[in-house]
Chains A and B, each alone.
Chain A
Amino acid sequence: MCETTTLLMSLKIDQDHSRFRKIVRGKIRQNLRRYISQGEMLGRKGKDLVSIPIPQIDIPRFTFGSKDKGGVGQGEGDPGDTVGSDDSDSGTGKAGQDAGEHILEVDVTLDELAEILGEELELPAIENKGKSRIISAKDRYTGIRRVGPESLKHFKRTYKEALKRAIASGVYNPARPLVVPQRDDKRFRSWKEDQEPVANAVIIYMMDVSGSMGDEQKEIVRIESFWIDAWLKRQYKGVESRYIIHDAVAREVDRDTFFRTRESGGTMISSAYKLAVDLIQREYPPEEWNIYPFHFSDGDNWSMDDTLVCIELMKEKMLPFVNMFAYGQVESPYGSGQFIKDLREQFGDDERVITSEIRDRDAIVNSIKDFLGKGK
Chain B
Amino acid sequence: MAFANETALPRYLRVEQDRIERIASDSGLDFFPTVFEMLSYDQMNEVAAYGGFPNRYPHWRFGMEYERLAKSYEYGLSKIYEMVINNNPSYAYLLEGNSLTDQKLVMCHVYGHVDFFKNNFAFRTTDLDSGGRVLAGSLESGSEYKPNRKWVDKMANHGSLVRRIVDRHGIEKVESLIDVCLSLENLIDPWSRFVVRRRHKEAEEEPTEIVVPRLKSKDYMDEFINPENFIKEQRTRLLAEREREKGRFPTEPRQDVLLFLLEHAPLERWERSVLGVMREEAYYFVPQMQTKIMNEGWASYHHSSLMTGAVADWSEIIDYSEANAGVMATANGQLNPYKLGVELFRSVEERWNKGRFGREWEECDDLDVKRDWDLRLGLGKQKIFEVRALYNDVTFIDEFLTPEFAMDHKLFTFAWSNRSDRFEIETREFRKVKEKLLAQLTNFGNPVIYVQDGNYENRGELLLRHDHRGVDLRSDYARDTLTALHRLWKRPVCIVTQSENKPVTMRYDGTEHSVVNSDA
Contacts and interface: CB of A to CB of B under 8 A. Distances in A.
B477 interface: yes
A70 to B, nearest CB: 4
B447 A63 contact: yes
B473 A90 contact: no
Interface string B357-368: 000000000000
Contact of B472 (A18, A65, A96): A65
A5 to B, nearest CB: 4
Interface string B20-64: 000000000000000000001011001001100001001111111
Nearest to A100: B474
Nearest to A11: B46
B335 to A, nearest CB: 5
A87 B330 CA distance: 13
Interface of B: 2-3, 6-7, 40, 42-43, 46, 49-50, 55, 58-64, 66-68, 71, 171, 175, 179, 182-187, 330-336, 339-340, 409-416, 420-428, 433, 436-437, 440, 446-447, 449, 466, 471-481, 484, 495
A60 B183 contact: yes
A99 to B, nearest CB: 8
Interface in A6-30: 6, 8-10, 12-13, 15-23
Nearest to A64: B471
B471 A59 contact: no
Contacts of B409: 74
A79 B425 CA distance: 5
Interface residues of A, number: 56
Contacts of B330: 74-75
B42 A9 contact: yes
A97 to B, nearest CB: 9
A20 B55 CA distance: 17
Contacts of B428: 79
Contacts of B478: 60, 62
Interface of A: 1-2, 5-6, 8-10, 12-13, 15-23, 56-57, 59-87, 90-92, 96, 104-106
B437 to A, nearest CB: 5
Contact of B416 (A6, A68, A80): A68
Contacts of A69: 440, 471
Given A64-B447, A74-B339, 20 more contacts: A6-B40, A9-B43, A9-B46, A20-B60, A22-B60, A70-B416, A71-B436, A73-B335, A75-B332, A75-B412, A76-B333, A77-B425, A80-B425, A82-B420, A82-B424, A83-B425, A84-B423, A86-B331, A90-B332, A104-B68
Contacts of A96: 422
Contacts of A56: 64
Contacts of A23: 60
A78 B473 CA distance: 29
B335 A71 contact: yes
B336 A74 contact: yes
Contacts of B425: 73, 77-83
B59 A16 contact: yes
27 contacts: A1-B6, A5-B2, A5-B3, A5-B7, A5-B43, A13-B49, A16-B49, A17-B62, A60-B477, A61-B185, A61-B446, A62-B447, A62-B481, A65-B474, A68-B416, A69-B440, A73-B414, A74-B333, A76-B410, A77-B412, A77-B425, A80-B424, A80-B425, A82-B424, A83-B333, A83-B414, A83-B425
Contacts of B472: 64-65, 68
A304 to B, nearest CB: 57
B129 to A, nearest CB: 29
B66 A19 contact: no
B271 to A, nearest CB: 18
A20 B67 contact: yes
Given A73-B334, A74-B409, A77-B425, A13 B46 contact: yes
B473 A65 contact: yes
Contacts of A78: 425
A56 B65 CA distance: 10
Given A72-B412, A90-B332, A91-B422, A63 B474 contact: yes
B186 A62 contact: yes
B464 to A, nearest CB: 8
Contacts of A77: 333, 412, 425
A83 to B, nearest CB: 4
B52 to A, nearest CB: 13
Contacts of A22: 60
Given A10-B46, A18-B63, A70 B175 contact: no
B389 to A, nearest CB: 26
Given A60-B480, A64-B472, A84 B332 contact: yes
What are the 3 tightest A-B residue pairs by CB atom distance, in nearest-first order? A20-B63, A60-B480, A17-B63
B63 A62 contact: no
B354 to A, nearest CB: 25
A105 B475 CA distance: 26
A5 B3 CA distance: 7
A75 B471 CA distance: 25
